[in-house]
Chains A and B, each alone.
Chain A
């Protein structure tokens, strides 16, 4: 029987670390082509329909910005968590809670009109997301629970809470019993950027967030603290940094950004609360964070790529008649290949056969190595 071992490489290649997301993307395309062929669709045509055709018209670029904005915003926050070695898997829940908290004013007081309304909504969205994210941080600090489990489980709590809110107390009384809130007033809607399409201010928020977090991580003491605690916690403790405080900081920062993404999505693209407000942005953002090498600027590019998989999924569904679950398949493959490439950068594979042990002593030839 053969055994496969991973052996740590003494040196990781800087070149391949940089190339890894591109290699992963190329491998995803190849695997995608194979999958299309097996589905009986011409792979070249399918890949064109999936990845190119959604970029051929201006209004579609607007749609891409709409899809990419929440992905970038959430992933930027998650990158801080992951760099600190803190595993927030519950951004989807923080997104949902941010959307609910931010919708308080336009739903309960639909007559509010002032210029203060929108900033206040955004702020409340951020607070909602941060407060929800502080729960797993608190549980970790207090009871040493695993934040992966608690943050993930809180996603389902938030989704059921949203479902109850829009079917129960916040349901639009004039909405023919549809499970949704009232339409937000125009003062409560995120303004669109250009006349040529639907893209709104949310995209600008996501770029600003990425640049600010990049500045923090690369130039500021707080970013240094994140990097030290993430890469060598003992040295971080020696520096006087606290892992516990860092857990709160990272969770609340990423929660606030996810919450901002949530309220931006609701007050931008959707315009009201409804049972489903996200096609899994909070989970896809984990892929975005890693595809962008946990670097906020790389995450902007990665967010656009992942946004494209959503659009491509919709396009392929209508033009090729394949399932819209395809988008999830592509996202899954992308994550798989990114993690695979990263593993192979750090480790090499060794096959160990179950051969008889080598002879005890083999005479050395002259000058043999």
Chain B
């Protein structure tokens, strides 16, 4: 049976791990490669790097980080932040990433997703959807690290991205991100039901019960979390044991 995944996310900026609340107020959480190594040893199912500065100048630093991590951690690696061309995807894959996550550029140019999927396969292309609730059962897509509204409905947009070739949707609730109030269950459920591809839930994990809850109640394929792991509050192993105890299939050990 396919197991649900637990994915620690490292938000990186200038070669360091950072974690903010509601996409601002950044706090240094350490050397990304060191953290990656720890998560690998703890049995993480996958690692995510998100370059939150996503500056052109920082590109080399990010690629170097991916290379260093991939040389030591023999596990799937997703990298996002500032991916805006097929060449960016290629560079990440060559550096050792398995999946490139596309966010702002997909809104600007949806065909980028289909071109990248045709070139490298859908399994390499994750579309990151940052969604903010704007009404009863309505969520809007935001870009530029959550600063810019797009007018797009998050559920429709996720469906469209899957149709264009995204192999996975990384769904972040901006309302919950950094709040530690739990994942947005309603948003997650709606997107899972709308798309044929796997969905990763992100934003809001404050305790291990939140992870078990979103997995149990929405059918989401994976949970992503950052601060709950970075500051030593919980290990990956603890998270997985809590999820398993809730009766959800998860890979224990390594």
Our verdict on whether A and B bind, yes or no, reads no
Interface residues of A (CB under 8 A from B): none
Interface residues of B (CB under 8 A from A): none
